[in-house]
Amino acid sequence: MKMNEYMERTEQVVLHTYNRFPVVFEKGEGVHLYDTEGKEYLDFGAGIAVFALGYHYADYDQALKDQIDKVIHTSNLFYNVPMMEAAEKLVKASGMSKVFFTNSGTEAIEGAIKAARKYAWNKDHATDHEIIAMNHSFHGRSVGALSVTGNPHYQEAFKPLMGGVKFADYNDLDSVKAQITDKTCAIIMETLQGEGGIYPMEESFLKGVKEICEEKDILLILDEIQCGMGRTGSMFAWQQYGVMPDIMTCAKALGCGVPVGAFVLNEKTAKASLVPGDHGTTYGGNPFACAAVSKVFDLFEEHDIVGHVRKTAPYLEKKLDELVEKHDCFTARRGKGFMQGLVVSGRPVGELVKAALANGLIVLSAGSDVLRLVPPLVITEKDIDEMVEKLEAVLS
Ligand SMILES: *Cc1c(COP(=O)(O)O)cnc(C)c1O
């Protein structure tokens, strides 16, 4: 069948909530995807920062196949081995205390919000606690997650949303202070803003927020769904700042393609928040999803994936800086590790993304004017050269 026919048939039956690019992918290998007509694409989007290990990474597929042969699902009414293993590895990698597995990032955010509210409720039994979130943030599309997403365009048609949310400016400590009241129970932010336009957090800002949180017993929730799992050069981006959150959310690369998320609590929060009856999900902690998580942590360690990011990221940054230098349509580079953005001026970023795709290169956009690069963490300098070559061909 022709790609056009697949697309038309899809549009007939799938609700049109995405303006999809005109390509139908069939398979992947390493850092490349192939469409149904056999065309090759270099993937610097990684399924939106999901495929950290690329496609068919050594032993990853086999671990999933082995788990399928054992059992895929059992429910949370019982224990299972992969859930224990995955949680142990997530706790070890983060130095935090307890894990709740979800099926997506959005659900991890929902759980984090509930844990924070319960923690505050335990102290005073008040039901009007407030959460401070950031402008230009992105935390998901369900009503709770959307309520803390600082993008009026996403929110408008779905009001009334969850109450008690106030917005402050990212990297502006005074604006956070201005929103704090006696009712504030949590401050939620991405350690590196992704969808909003690739904005890294300033160290003084994070340290300042943490200080306020400790002083007032407000919980700090760091959303590591996109920037976590090694992408910025440490397993979790906050580890580079030496500031541990009270609650962390994970998803995207956590299962490297299998839909899974988690929220992780520190000791203090785990001890005094959610208890049996407070929260649940049928699929969460599913043996299949957790076998993926467990294997991902093993492979990250065996192959020193984070070390590779730290070693290779300076090359990517240098190449991107050269692009900014050379081409007027790029005015700046922002980002950390393998989470990079080029600020585009003078032409719509969507057009650039589309042209790159036609030329066999997958890149993404972020915010209104940022070209986003979130490649698999296993890319080499050669892949980076190929990316630059393909992008330059589109610019000229
Ligand atoms: C993608 C994303 C989410 C939402 O995750 P889903 O798995 O799409 O529900 C939340 N926060 C951040 C920072 C994200 O990048």
Question: Mean per-residue pLDDT for 211-218?
Answer: 98
44 pLDDT tier (thresholds 50, 70, 90) = very high
| Ligand 1 atom with minimal separation from the 107 CA | 9
Q: Do 142 and 285 contact (CB within 8 A), yes or no?
A: no
Question: Which residues does 344 contact at the CB level (< 8 Å), separation at least 6?
Answer: 329, 330, 331, 352, 369, 370, 371
Residue 106 is labelled as binding a ligand: yes
Q: Are residues 199 and 251 in the same domain?
A: yes
Q: Are residues 28 and 166 in the same domain?
A: no
Residue 372 is labelled as binding a ligand: no
Nearest CA residue ID for atom 10, ligand 1? 139
292 pLDDT tier (thresholds 50, 70, 90) = very high
> Is 208 contained in some domain?
yes
Q: Which domain holds residue 172?
A: 71-302
pLDDT of residue 102: 98
68 pLDDT tier (thresholds 50, 70, 90) = very high
Laid out side by side, the sheet with 219-223 consists of: 98-102, 261-265, 247-250, 219-223, 184-190, 130-134, 165-168
> Is 11 contained in some domain?
yes
pLDDT of residue 284: 96
Q: Are residues 94 and 38 in the same domain?
A: no
Given a cut of 90, is residue 20 above it in pLDDT?
yes
To test the ligand 1 pocket, which listed residue (104, 106, 339) has its Cβ within 8 A of the most ligand atoms? 106
- Domain boundary residue among 302, 332, 361? 302
Q: Are residues 134 and 261 in the same domain?
A: yes
Rounded distance from Cα 74 to ligand 1 centre (Å): 26
C-alpha angle 206/211/213, rounded to 5°?
95
Rounded distance from Cα 37 to ligand 1 centre (Å): 31
Question: Mean per-residue pLDDT for 49-58?
Answer: 97
To test the ligand 1 pocket, which listed residue (48, 195, 248, 249) has its Cβ within 8 A of the most ligand atoms? 195
Q: Are residues 169 and 206 in the same domain?
A: yes
- Domain boundary residue among 274, 302, 330? 302
Ligand 1 pocket, 191 CB below 6 A? no
- Domain boundary residue among 259, 285, 302? 302
Given a cut of 90, is residue 378 above it in pLDDT?
yes
279 pLDDT tier (thresholds 50, 70, 90) = very high
Q: Are residues 238 and 373 in the same domain?
A: no
Question: Mean per-residue pLDDT for 192-215?
Answer: 98
How many CB atoms lie under 10 A from the CB of residue 121?
15
Q: Are residues 91 and 49 in the same domain?
A: no
Rounded distance from Cα 225 to ligand 1 centre (Å): 6
| Ligand 1 atom with minimal separation from the 142 CA | 9
pLDDT single digits (tens) 116-165: 999 999 999 999 999 999 999 999 999 999 999 999 999 999 999 999 99
Q: Are residues 336 and 284 in the same domain?
A: no
166 pLDDT tier (thresholds 50, 70, 90) = very high
> Is 236 contained in some domain?
yes
Ligand 1 pocket, 198 CB below 6 A? no
Rounded distance from Cα 23 to ligand 1 centre (Å): 23
Given a cut of 90, is residue 396 above it in pLDDT?
no
What CATH number is associated with residue 156?
Answer: 3.40.640.10
pLDDT single digits (tens) 102-113: 999 999 999 999
pLDDT of residue 13: 98
> Is 66 contained in some domain?
no
DSSP-assigned letter for residue 30? B
311 pLDDT tier (thresholds 50, 70, 90) = very high
How many CB atoms lie under 10 A from the CB of residue 92?
12
Q: Are residues 155 and 25 in the same domain?
A: no
Q: Are residues 147 and 247 in the same domain?
A: yes
330 pLDDT tier (thresholds 50, 70, 90) = very high
Ligand 1 pocket, 137 CB below 6 A? no
Q: Are residues 141 and 188 in the same domain?
A: yes
What CATH number is associated with residue 382?
Answer: 3.90.1150.10
Question: Mean per-residue pLDDT for 286-303?
Answer: 98
Rounded distance from Cα 105 to ligand 1 centre (Å): 5
Rounded distance from Cα 141 to ligand 1 centre (Å): 8
Q: Do 119 and 269 contact (CB within 8 A), yes or no?
A: yes
> Is 328 contained in some domain?
yes
Q: Are residues 75 and 208 in the same domain?
A: yes
pLDDT of residue 331: 98
Residue 282 is labelled as binding a ligand: yes
Distance between CA atoms of residues 177 and 185, nearest Å: 13
> Is 62 contained in some domain?
no
> Is 65 contained in some domain?
no
pLDDT of residue 225: 98
> Is 64 contained in some domain?
no
Ligand 1 pocket, 193 CB below 6 A? no
| Ligand 1 atom with minimal separation from the 49 CA | 15
Nearest CA residue ID for atom 7, ligand 1? 105
Residue 149 is labelled as binding a ligand: no
pLDDT of residue 159: 96
* Residue corresponding to tokens 């208890």: 275
Total domains in the chain come to: 2
| Ligand 1 atom with minimal separation from the 259 CA | 7
